[in-house]
Amino acid sequence: MQVESIAIADLSNDPANARKHGQKNIDTIVASLRRFGQQKPIVIDSSGIVRAGNGTLEAAKVLGWDSIDAIRTELKGSEATAYAIADNRTAELAEWDDDVLAATLQGLVTDDEDLLAAAGFDEDELAALLDEMDAGNENESTTERSLQLKPDMEYVLIVCDSPEEWIEMQEKLKLKQVRRGGYKKGSAFDSVGTERVLAWSELAERVNSDNSDTV
């Protein structure tokens, strides 16, 4: 399909468009167009009716544009109507990965505060997202996280020569099931396994507990 620059005066919004664009939505599209320009064409039919991109057309009018990039679909009648609905519905069915979204938005703020608004979010929405994630984290499983190795400390490495020795050591040292340290529950790297790093104070307490039990 060929992208054309079409005079806005020659275009019409889809009268059957069931997707309504509130003022906040139009303002967001305006901010995006102002910052990034038009990065994808709208879709129009042979009569100049917009089948996908009605909000973009309205935002372009707000910005005072005389023309807009568009591609012409060959779909007609009910097929054109169904496509218009599908264009909105498929976007509606997508979901955000809140962890990735929050990290990305925070990165935008660090690079350029105006990018947050251009991406369709404001500071209050970002704060609410972070608060919601914090609340969710407080309700997560209380399984403790494993200790992390620190380069400035000394270590003793215990090697087991067989699976039987490994099982015996787990019992003797009372090794617990812990989450890998440094990863949020549910992330791609989150996992639970036998603890592999013990603080000396914890090891001493477990060994002394065993000795006291045998006295």
71 shares a domain with 19: yes
35 shares a domain with 74: yes
How many domains does one find in the chain? 3
DSSP per-residue letters across 132-196: HHHHHHHTS--PPBPP---TTS-------SSHHHHHHHHHHHTPPEEEPTT--TTSTT--EEE--
129 shares a domain with 145: no
In the structure, how many helices (H) and strands (E) does the chain have?
8, 6
Decide which of 138, 168, 198 is a domain's last residue.
138
Compute the mean pLDDT over every residue in the chain, rounded to the nearest whole number: 84
Domain housing 127: 98-138
Stronger pLDDT, 124 or 157, i.e. the higher one: 124
Q: Are 113 and 126 in contact (CB under 8 A)?
A: no
pLDDT tens digits, one per residue of 53-100: 999 999 999 999 999 999 999 999 999 999 999 998 998 888 888 888
151 shares a domain with 127: no
pLDDT tens digits, one per residue of 13-33: 998 888 888 999 999 999 999
What share of the chain has pLDDT > 70, as a percent?
A: 81
Q: How far apart are CA 126 and CA 101, in angstroms?
A: 9
88 shares a domain with 130: no
207 shares a domain with 174: yes
Q: pLDDT-based confidence at 198, cuts 50/70/90? A: confident
